[in-house]
Structure 1
Amino acid sequence: MTSFTQYIVGACIVGLGGYLYYYIKSYEMASKEDYKKAKSIYDFTVKDTYGNDVSLEKYKGHVVLIVNIASQCGLTKTNYKQLTEIKEKYYDQGLRVLSFPCNQFNSQMPEDDGEAMVCHLRDAKADVGDVFAKIDVNGPNADPLYQYLQHKKSGTFFDAIKWNFTKFLVNKEGIPVKRYAPYTEPKDIAKDIEKLLE
């Protein structure tokens, strides 16, 4: 291959590379906005604690309580206990609790996904429903599901998740209907859950 031909091929590769970079970045930007187009939580796929894809369509027809959990928070003991109690009390009536570990608040969820997370929850006697992979709930890397939840149910003063154990209650159609502050205990959500289960 002549030097001139090498130059042309190289230029094409560089040009193609630039085009692909632009295309990929444009696609990423579009993807980050897709949560605004979602009609319900059923439009999202998340990862379980072992990294497997889980379509939230599996929860169609159920009332869903979504919560970001942490193991070393001052709210952990109460929330683990009451989430376990609520899950056990209402499971047969159709409630599903979805717990998303998050380490964004003072690094209070240091456990790894998978067996480490399962063992932690077992040792804590916390049956907090279906447990998913650790995620960000705020910022540029926030999970799309949490972007959607914040978009649909704004918070007081600002929409970002303020702390561990923020809770979202979702009806049987997959629509978020209420958001609860971290200090709202799960037992205080029981009446709202019962209304949606009727």
Structure 2
Amino acid sequence: MVSLLVHASLGLASIAWIIASNPRIYARPAGGPWLAPLECVYYLAGVASIALGWYFNIRFVLDAHGQGSLVSGPGSYPNFLRLQFANPAAGSGNQDYLIANVVLLPVFTIVDGYRRGLRRPWLFFVASFFTSFAFPFAFYFATIERQRRHQRTGGEPGAEVGSGGPPADPLAVRHEI
């Protein structure tokens, strides 16, 4: 159970770091509500994905009855990975998940994030290791919606990276970590 508490703490820390890195984006848009209905939909989907994922993660750890550790035994991370491919049906779903989480999520959020002027967009990928796979997507989509609302009211919070807004080619420029 300690590993789950560590994961929860790291998940909250990564979310807090994203928000702290982009205070203008997460500020209340001028003349509008704190959260728009579409942002609420994204956040609710993200929170639901965490709740459902954690339900199954906690059951996995409790089913091990305290046997083993994080690296060995029935409740271990290697066993968790092995069970993801325990049969063809599980393997089919998990290969899709792994490609989406390890390739598509970071490429999309990092490239698109830098184009939009987000600082440290790679943290959305980091958050996926400690929250759920769907949560960073939902959080990122809510962030895009929040940024759109700011731009609609003239706030332009997207130009936070560097002095002239996002670079033309986000992969050709080093960004602060």
Q: TM-score, normalised by structure 2?
A: 0.24
Indicate the structure with greater strand content: 1
- Highest RCO, 1 vs 2 (Cα 8 Å, sep ≥ 6): 2
Structure with greater helix share of residues:
2
TM-score (norm 1): 0.23
